[in-house]
Amino acid sequence: MDLPLTIKDAAAGLRSGEYSSAELTAGFIRKAKELNPTLGAFITFIEDGAMSAAAAADANLAGGVDTGPLMGIPMAVKDIIATADAPTTANGLVLDPAWGAGYDATVVSKLRAAGAAITGKLVLNEFAIGQPDASKPFPMPQNPWDLERSASGSSSGTGIAVAAGLVLGGLGTDTGGSTRGPSSFNGHSGIKQTFGRVSKFGCVPLGYSLDGINPMARSAYDCAVILQAIAGYDPQDPCSVDVPVPDYVAALNGSVAGVRIGIPTTYFFDVPELDAEVKAGVLKSVEILKAAGAVIVNVMIPYAAEAKDANTIIMVSEAAAYHRPDLGSMFDTYGKFTSQVLARGVLFSGADYVQAQRFRSYFKKVIADVMSQVDVLIVPTSTTTAPKRAEMNPGMMLTQPSFTGIWNLTGMPALALPTGMSEAGLPMSMQIVGKPWDEAMVLRVGDAFQQLTSHHLNVPPIAAAVAV
């Protein structure tokens, strides 16, 4: 069978009787098992559980019960999120095997309640912070567009699985760009929602005050459907905020007429590290939205470079705090890149952390002033397309500009989505950044753009060649 590309199309096919959820889920699992030895997306398959969920979805549809657009949809989750039917490893050997055993994270419970068929647990950078280490017994993530290139991280497996069509959607996490980076390098959509919008209960922490669990899918529409299912207050998560959840799908009206889009040229478009093709792709996308009726506003975001540094200091300091009990006794059990980053976090002082948090409070006020002029911002997601893994090193995150961690620092929603392909045949990406709690506007602009373009429907040749 020809597998659908999007949740939207799959949901329509299920309801029209084009295929059953059992057929759909089995097809995605076959494709994932065929490509996983090459792409390294899955750590664990949950085939029996997924097929049981698919059978339940088919029975519900036959009985006139519809739990919503995720019913019968094959999905998978980053292996840092607890699932009752599979172990959680965080892609490492340090985590106690009993961690997360026997229960679902809140987001997983919500996906199951929505009728999703969870097909497995996905590869990540160890504990969401270390680069992949080939000496450890986990699959090595490979970019489906070019196997020599990075799939980014830390939600690399989710990015690969979505881009290669091994699932229709998945969950990643994001502390400094770990959802949007893989979305950028692998060529699909992914949203970091407002901090506190989605429960983190049942997820191994990286940075307590920065983390989020996020939808990753081919389109902004599909991300809206997933976010609708997982959003909402959860008293089990002390960071969860009790605010109303809007109807994200209803907000996708296809129009950007009158929407004010801020373009912050300084830092985001003028750093020398920004690839010319990536920059041109973002600016061309802005012109498409302008032609559709959006109003372009030039804005200035001061201290962006300092904001990137503050995010890094807070992230690695909070990570070191979580891992401190294990670093002394199990240092060599961590992957070599993970232990390096965590050791760096130990070197920051309490004063460094406090100063970064003081800056954070000030910077949020600065950004609020900027956002009072516009509805959204548009900036690149990454400075380049996916680099070759052999050319990467752990120090890159310290020395290179970042366009993603800034929005973790402020807690604002940010959607990454494709802007086209480079001359080398690699995906390029931009971010749509919104006001706190206004994911609806971010998704609306992203969906409108994707109704005018087809970049999000590009499929890597390695995946397109597989028949199921």
Per DSSP (E only), the strands in 112-188 are 117-122, 169-173
Find where tokens 């919008």 sit. Answer: 197
Cα–Cα distance measured from residue 350 to residue 357, given in angstroms and rounded to the nearest whole number = 11
- Beta pairing class for 376-380 and 260-264: parallel
Dihedral of CA 51/52/53/57: which sign?
positive
Cα–Cα distance measured from residue 438 to residue 418, given in angstroms and rounded to the nearest whole number = 21
CA distances to 83, 211, 234 from 198, rounded to whole Å, are 17, 10, 8
Q: Is 154 a catalytic residue?
A: yes
Decide: 185 and 148 in contact? Cβ < 8 Å: no
**How many Cα atoms occupy the beta-carbon half-sphere of 194 within 13 Å?**
22
Cα–Cα distance measured from residue 16 to residue 467, given in angstroms and rounded to the nearest whole number = 23
Q: Is 364 a catalytic residue?
A: no
Give me the torsion for CA of 89, 93, 94, 96, rounded to 10°. 50
Q: Is 78 a catalytic residue?
A: yes
Task: Check 152, 156, 178, 402 and give the catalytic one.
Answer: 178
Task: Check 20, 21, 152, 154 and give the catalytic one.
Answer: 154
Task: Check 8, 21, 31, 78 and give the catalytic one.
Answer: 78
Q: Give the single-character DSSP code of 138.
A: S
3-state DSSP: the chain helix, strand, coil percent, rounded to 5? 45, 15, 45
Just list the catalytic residues: 78, 154, 178
